[in-house]
């Protein structure tokens, strides 16, 4: 990942962050009394998962994935979030953090830090997962 | 012939429902929380997500608990719930080549690109029933050192690519890009685009799809299939939507899918007999049985779907809610329809006893609805 997080990268990492850490940080963002408006949601709905299959390169709709979306305005800056699942509080908090970071408000650095932690956590989780999976790599032998 | 429903019985219906609720919710056993179901009934939860057409483990688990473990009833509950939800977005096309594999075997080839990874499976284990009195003691396990995966270990090149490199696959990749059919908005009817067939199979009842595949393989329709499996995978793929402010794709997270490639030997008179063709299967969660049946039926349908019954069968018979729903409706009162049948029999008997031969039977004109 690049040194400076793009907005999309930040949204992706906030979509993966834990509820408690998001809500706590969003509370801190709003503690200075910044005006906040909820523009959308938080709304639970479905994202239709569209797949491009590799044989004929055709698209088809695999099914729906549950997701939650919210959009807010903090101190005049719009923030948006969409997360998998149905956690409304976490989604709303992530939207607040997106607005805070976009506006380069006081907690922007903390948000960047949270994103980096989420990123590092994912790397650790995936490394641990591979440590569990790797012993199941198999090489079958042919009978000749 | 007319059909009329029955009225009344509300108190009995409520009492019957109450029996279910009390026996289920107040059973003399510890409450089964959602986490218990998702952790210990993973494959069942995955199956319900697929047949219900909604990926969310907790929702599927809650439905299974409410349905007393009946996967079809649980899928029905999930679909009913899904129908109440707004559609927030249609994702960017998922590229299955981005799948982080959790399991991957290639039955057709011993040394494909990347690892053959057994992952979490009992495929090679003897089927001996275990009946522990309580939770088994943890087995001693020393996890290996955590290490980063290489790209080849994470997303190995699919077997189909190798076949293409060897120029062994009839290349039928489309140059146009038609929008996929949305079978959740409009039921697909034959003849339908392949996208509708794939979507129908992805949310088909697993047993129904496997049964149809078995029928197809056994050959009562006269179609010959010589099929080998290429890649069979279970893993995670990213879900992305367009960011509403920047217009760029943003990853919302990952969801698990099962995927299969079915390689079929082309031997038809109008087929390229020097090459193979490949069918494709992909479904929610870990459900290899379904993905494999789907891949086999995809190639079978592309070869024979328009000349035999398979295309219709795939579109019209494998949906669990459709088929089981029709079956279950037979339990509802059919007093009027059955009385009509009885009265016809009695009239024919009366006519026969009066010495009047049965009227010559005239077939209904084709297409007339009865």
Question: For residue B123, is it within any domain?
Answer: no
* B214/B210 Cα distance (integer angstroms): 6
Amino acid B2: pLDDT: 41
Whether B76 and B101 share a structural domain: no
A 11-50 near B (Cβ less than 8 A): 11-12, 15-16, 43-50
Question: For residue B9, is it within any domain?
Answer: no
Amino acid B40: pLDDT: 96
Closest CA to B189 of B309, B312, B51, B317: B312
Instruction: Provide the ipTM.
Output: 0.95
Whether B62 and B165 share a structural domain: no
Whether B105 and B200 share a structural domain: yes
For chain A, the structural domain boundaries read: 7-132
- Give the model confidence (pLDDT) of A74-88 as tens digits: 999 999 999 999 999
Whether B43 and B161 share a structural domain: no
Whether B308 and B163 share a structural domain: yes
B367 or A75: which carries more pLDDT confidence? A75
Whether B161 and B57 share a structural domain: no
Whether B114 and B258 share a structural domain: yes
Question: For residue B147, is it within any domain?
Answer: no
- Overall size of chain A counted in residues: 144
Looking at residues B114-135, what average pLDDT do you find?
93
Looking at residues A102-114, what average pLDDT do you find?
93
Amino acid A1: pLDDT: 52
* Any A CB within 8 A of B39 CB: no
Whether B113 and B72 share a structural domain: no
Contact (Cβ atoms closer than 8 angstroms) between residue A28 and residue A110: yes
Identity of the residue in A64, A123, A127 whose CB atom sits nearest the CB atom of B55: A64
Contact (Cβ atoms closer than 8 angstroms) between residue B288 and residue B55: no
Q: Report the DSSP pairing between strands B249-265 and B116-117.
A: unpaired
Q: Percentage of chain A with pLDDT > 90?
A: 91
- Give the predicted TM-score (pTM) of the model: 0.93
- Give the model confidence (pLDDT) of B190-246 as tens digits: 889 999 999 999 999 999 999 999 988 877 777 777 789 999 999 999 999 999 999
In chain B, whose CA is at the least distance from the CA of A54? Answer: B96
Cβ of A61 within 8 Å of Cβ of B280? The answer is no
Whether B298 and B266 share a structural domain: yes
Question: Lowest-confidence range among A28-42, A63-77, B263-277?
Answer: B263-277
Structurally, how many domains does chain B consist of? 2
Whether B241 and B319 share a structural domain: yes
Locate tokens 């907690």: which residue? A107
Residue B361 predicted with pLDDT over 80: no
Question: For residue B336, is it within any domain?
Answer: no
* Any B CB within 8 A of A104 CB: no
| Residues linked to residue B157 through DSSP beta bridges, in sequence order | none
Question: For residue B53, is it within any domain?
Answer: yes
Whether B200 and B229 share a structural domain: yes
- Give the model confidence (pLDDT) of B25-83 as tens digits: 999 999 999 999 999 999 999 999 999 999 999 999 999 999 999 999 999 999 999 99
Amino acid B245: pLDDT: 92
* B196/B346 Cα distance (integer angstroms): 47
Cβ of A84 within 8 Å of Cβ of B115? The answer is no
Whether B164 and B54 share a structural domain: no
Identity of the residue in B144, B253, B283 whose CB atom sits nearest the CB atom of A16: B253
* Any B CB within 8 A of A69 CB: yes
* Any A CB within 8 A of B251 CB: yes
Locate tokens 């295309």: which residue? B311
According to DSSP, residue B68 is labeled T
Task: Please state, rounded to an integer, the average pLDDT across all residues of chain A.
Answer: 94
Identity of the residue in A54, A65, A137 whose CB atom sits nearest the CB atom of B160: A54
User: Which of B55, B75, B83 should be substituted to probe chain A, the one whose Cβ sees the most A Cβ atoms within 10 Å?
Assistant: B55
- Give the model confidence (pLDDT) of A6-43 as tens digits: 999 999 999 999 999 999 999 999 999 999 999 998 99
Amino acid B142: pLDDT: 81
Question: For residue B316, is it within any domain?
Answer: yes
Give A141→chain B minimum CA distance, Å. 8
Question: For residue B247, is it within any domain?
Answer: yes
Question: For residue B235, is it within any domain?
Answer: yes
Parent domain of B37? 14-84
User: Which of B88, B234, B287 should be substituted to probe chain A, the one whose Cβ sees the most A Cβ atoms within 10 Å?
Assistant: B88
Give the residue from B309, B324, B339 where a domain finishes: B324
List of chain A residues whose C-beta atoms are within 8 Å of the C-beta of residue B90 = 47-48, 50, 61
């Amino acid at each position: 990942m690049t040194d400076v997080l793009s907005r999309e990268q930040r949204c992706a990492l906030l979509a993966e962050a834990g509820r408690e850490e998001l809500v706590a940080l969003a509370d801190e963002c709003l503690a200075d009394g910044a005006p906040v408006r909820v523009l959308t949601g938080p709304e639970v709905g479905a994202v239709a998962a569209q797949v491009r299959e590799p044989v004929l390169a055709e698209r088809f709709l695999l099914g729906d994935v549950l997701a939650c979306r919210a959009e807010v305005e903090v101190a005049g800056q719009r923030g948006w979030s969409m997360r998998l699942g149905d956690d409304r509080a976490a989604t709303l908090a992530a939207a607040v953090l997106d607005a805070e970071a976009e506006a380069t408000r006081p907690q922007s650095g903390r948000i960047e830090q949270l994103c980096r932690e989420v990123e590092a956590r994912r790397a650790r989780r995936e490394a641990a997962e591979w440590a569990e999976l790797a012993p199941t790599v198999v090489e079958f032998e042919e009978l000749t | 012939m007319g059909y009329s429903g029955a009225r009344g019985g509300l108190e009995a219906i409520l009492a019957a429902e109450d029996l279910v609720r009390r026996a289920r919710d107040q059973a003399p056993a510890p409450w089964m929380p959602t986490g218990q179901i998702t952790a210990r009934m993973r494959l069942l939860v995955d199956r319900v997500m697929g047949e219900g057409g909604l990926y969310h483990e907790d929702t599927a688990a809650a439905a299974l608990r409410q349905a007393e473990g009946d996967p079809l009833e649980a899928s029905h509950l999930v679909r009913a719930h899904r129908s109440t939800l707004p559609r927030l977005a249609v994702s960017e096309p998922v590229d299955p080549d981005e799948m982080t594999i959790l399991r991957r075997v290639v039955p057709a080839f011993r040394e494909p690109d990347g690892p053959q990874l057994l992952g979490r499976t009992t495929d090679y284990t003897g089927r001996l029933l275990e009946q522990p009195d309580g939770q088994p003691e943890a087995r001693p396990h020393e996890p290996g050192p955590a290490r980063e995966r290489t790209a080849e270990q994470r997303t190995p090149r699919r077997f189909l690519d190798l076949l293409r490199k060897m120029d062994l696959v009839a290349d039928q990749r489309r140059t146009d890009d038609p929008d996929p059919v949305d079978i959740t908005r409009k039921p697909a009817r034959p003849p339908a685009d392949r996208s509708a067939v794939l979507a129908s199979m992805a949310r088909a009842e697993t047993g129904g799809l496997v049964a149809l595949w078995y029928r197809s393989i056994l050959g009562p329709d006269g179609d010959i299939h010589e099929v080998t499996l290429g890649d069979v995978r279970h893993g995670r793929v990213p879900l992305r939507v367009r960011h509403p402010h920047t217009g760029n794709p943003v990853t919302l997270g990952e969801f698990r899918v099962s995927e299969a490639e079915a390689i079929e030997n082309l031997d038809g008179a109008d087929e390229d007999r020097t090459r193979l063709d490949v069918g494709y299967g992909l479904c929610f969660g870990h459900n290899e049985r379904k993905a494999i049946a789907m891949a086999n039926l995809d190639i079978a349908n592309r070869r024979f779907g328009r000349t035999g019954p398979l295309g219709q069968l795939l579109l019209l018979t494998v949906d669990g809610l459709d088929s089981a729903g029709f079956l279950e409706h037979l339990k509802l009162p059919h007093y009027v329809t059955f009385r009509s049948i009885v009265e016809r029999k009695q009239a024919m008997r009366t006519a026969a006893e009066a010495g009047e031969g049965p009227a010559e039977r005239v077939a209904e004109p084709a297409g007339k609805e009865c």
